[in-house]
Amino acid sequence: MVPWLLVVVCVVLALGPRARFASAEVNPAPLTPGTVAVVRADGDCLRLRDAPGLAGMRLTCLGEGTRVDVLDGAVEADGYRWQRIAFAGLAGWAADVYLVAADRDIPPVITPAPTPTTGSGPVSFFMPAPAGTVWRIVAGYNTATHSLADGGDPYAIDIVRDDGLTEGTAVLAPVDATVAWRDNACAVLRDGAGMRILICHFFPAAGLTIGQALTSGEPIGTVAPAGAAGNNGLPHLHLAVNEGATAARAILPLVGAYALEGRALPPITNANAYAGTIFVSTNGASGGTPIVAAPAPPPPAPAVPTLSASLPSAGFGTVLFSGGTSDELVTAAACAVERLAFWVFDGGGPVTYLPAAGVPLVNARWHALFESGIPAGTILIGRCSAS
């Protein structure tokens, strides 16, 4: 072996795994608890883990420039010194080689120009909606429902149409992916890089099945109307990306390969960050034929008023009316008007209704009682005379 090469190898082995793994300046001493540190991860994000060491479960990934609170605790493991820190109420461990004390002279972050993603990961991350539609973030990062405190994803966003009705808009796959899970209001799509894209508050298509392969731009359902699919009264889509089976594990900001429509939303601690940001979808535009939004379903036809039973031709029958006007009651009875009679008790005795009566005074009490219509479930006594 060449002597100088042997010397280099010996030096590396003597320094241990840190010299092989770390690419940034090693902190000479642990950070001081109670101070603030800044993430310097060579343009990448710094993984926050639940335990010191590479085997610790990844809780989230802190973007370049994120400010964190330094907590008490520093442990050597796997060639790194792991510092206990806190971010947005979440405490965990991170390699301190990628942390710089905030009171130091910190060089500015230089973000390299993005390069096309190749391999199994997504090349682009599209808006999950038809090309040409315009969308606005109404709830961004770090809101009451997008937070670690309530077990949610601080990097999730809620989006609504800015150019028309959100309700009924077609929901499209934002990347080439496989359906990992679905229910009646949400779907999780797993892309080629293993990331899970969560989309909620829509009606998944009946034919959408777990394990189904999708291409970006392929319809997967429609946005639910107000008060449906768990949307709390506002038609919108919830969008998030994570590395685990749930949004609480290894949550990721919309950056890098997951920059929405090419626009990165780096992690920051501002409340409701990026709210109001506008996006124009290009999903499906490359196919030449834009996918149009599905029309909103027509309102259901009004229910036809009914009686719970047919009226007898002899004697009297007790029936329930489903509600409506007096004219609708007559129609529901399916009896000639001149043979029809109804009575109801209002606490002061029976009130008569003879639809064929030519004198208004005969039915005056009835019409006064049901001036606004006959309530559903009203108990009536009726008869459809034979002659």
Show the domain range for 40.
Answer: 16-101
User: Do residues 125 and 237 make contact, with C-beta atoms less than 8 angstroms apart?
Assistant: no
Would 375 be classed as within a structural domain?
yes
205 and 248 in a single domain? The answer is: yes
Both 274 and 141 in one domain: the answer is yes
pTM of this prediction?
A: 0.47
The answer to whether residue 219 sits within a structural domain is: yes
The runs of H, that is alpha helices, within the chain are 3-15, 17-21, 326-333, 364-369
Q: Is residue 297 part of a domain?
A: no
Alpha-carbon distance of 161 to 167, in angstroms, equals 9
- Regarding whether 324 and 263 lie in a shared domain, the answer is no
Q: Which of 338, 337, 339, 351 has its CA nearest to residue 379?
A: 351
- Per-residue pLDDT of 272-289, as tens digits, reads 888 889 998 998 865 433
Domain count, the chain: 3
- To the nearest whole number, what is the mean pLDDT of the chain? 79
Q: What is the pLDDT of residues 56-79, one digit of tens each?
A: 877 777 767 778 889 999 999 999
Exposed / middle / buried, residue 93 (Cβ in 10 Å: 0-12, 13-18, 19+): buried
Same domain, 260 and 362: no
Mean pLDDT, residues 164-186 taken together:
93
Whether 346 is covered by a domain: the verdict is yes
pLDDT score for 314: 81
Q: What is the CATH number of the domain that holds 74?
A: 2.30.30.40
List, for residues 303-332, the tens digit of each pLDDT value: 788 888 888 888 788 888 888 999 999 999
